[in-house]
Structures are given as structure tokens and as C-alpha cells.
Amino acid sequence: MLAPGDDAESAAFELELRLEAAALTRALTPLEATALAVCVFAREFAAGGFGAFLANTSRRHAAQLGDALSAIGCPRLAAIAREAGGLVRDMPHVQSDVALEDLALRRALADWDLRVEACPEDALDALFAWAASYADALPTA
């Protein structure tokens, strides 16, 4: 799935696109849903941290992200994601412009971003190591 020399971000984006396309015609398998949640999180986090992940349509993956990160072997990232996922449940306006003015929310987002950046776990490395065990169950190019 990820060949030596491949760019992990590009490979994750390609996998995300394949999974999103599959989701248009059928329900994703649990393995596919796990991979998709991690791909979406990695892309959105790189673009703007938890704020970007929770403010866009990608937030639909917030509820399963903790379990997805745990499944691929990232328990520390999973714990952070579960906290952030709780925010989506407790604060449904997180994606609105009003939320940007919420100082407590901005502090929480900044704290989660710092914790993810300081975490020694790499979601994409873990994703592709995990995916290698399930290569036949995930879409390829």
C-alpha cells in the first residue's frame, strides 16, 4: 500500500479518495471506516489542527476517530481524539463562526494540537503498518 519512497500524506489522500468513492456506492467495512477516519484526520490536522478537523465535514469522523487510532496502534493519539470527540457532542456549534470567538474552545483546540504535535505516535506511519496486514480488505489504486 505504501511503497518505499512514497509520500505518506499523498498515499493517505489517495486512500481517502478511494474510500470516499466506495462509500458512495456501499457501506464501508469496519476496516475501511477505520482507515478513512485516520486519513481524514491526518489531512485536516495537517491543514489546521483539531480546529480544521472539527470545523469541516470531516467532523463526521470525530466519534469514531478515537477507536480508529486505537485500532491502528496509537493509544495516546486516541485518548486526545476522544477528548476532542466529546467536544463535538457537548458543543455542536463547534463548526460555526461563533465558536471562533469562544476563548475556552480556542484554548482546548490549541491544547489538543500541542499534545498531538508532542506525541511520539505518527498516525500515518501506524496506519500504513496496520493496513499492510489488511491489504486485501482495503481498496488499492
**What is the separation of C-alpha 52 from the centre of its chain, rounded to a whole number of angstroms?**
11
Nearest to 124 by CA among 86, 82, 62, 74: 74
Residue 4's pLDDT band, with cuts at 50, 70 and 90, is very low
Burial of 19 (0-12, 13-18, 19+ CB in 10 A): buried
Element (H, E) at 109: helix 103-118
- Domain 8-136 - what CATH class? mainly alpha
Q: What is the rounded distance in angstroms from the CA atom of residue 48 to the CA atom of residue 63? A: 19
pTM of this prediction? Answer: 0.87
- Is the predicted pLDDT of residue 43 greater than 80, yes or no? yes
Instruction: Delimit the domains of the chain by residue range.
Output: 8-136
Q: 74-121: per-residue pLDDT in tens?
A: 999 999 999 887 766 665 555 555 455 677 778 888 999 999 999 999
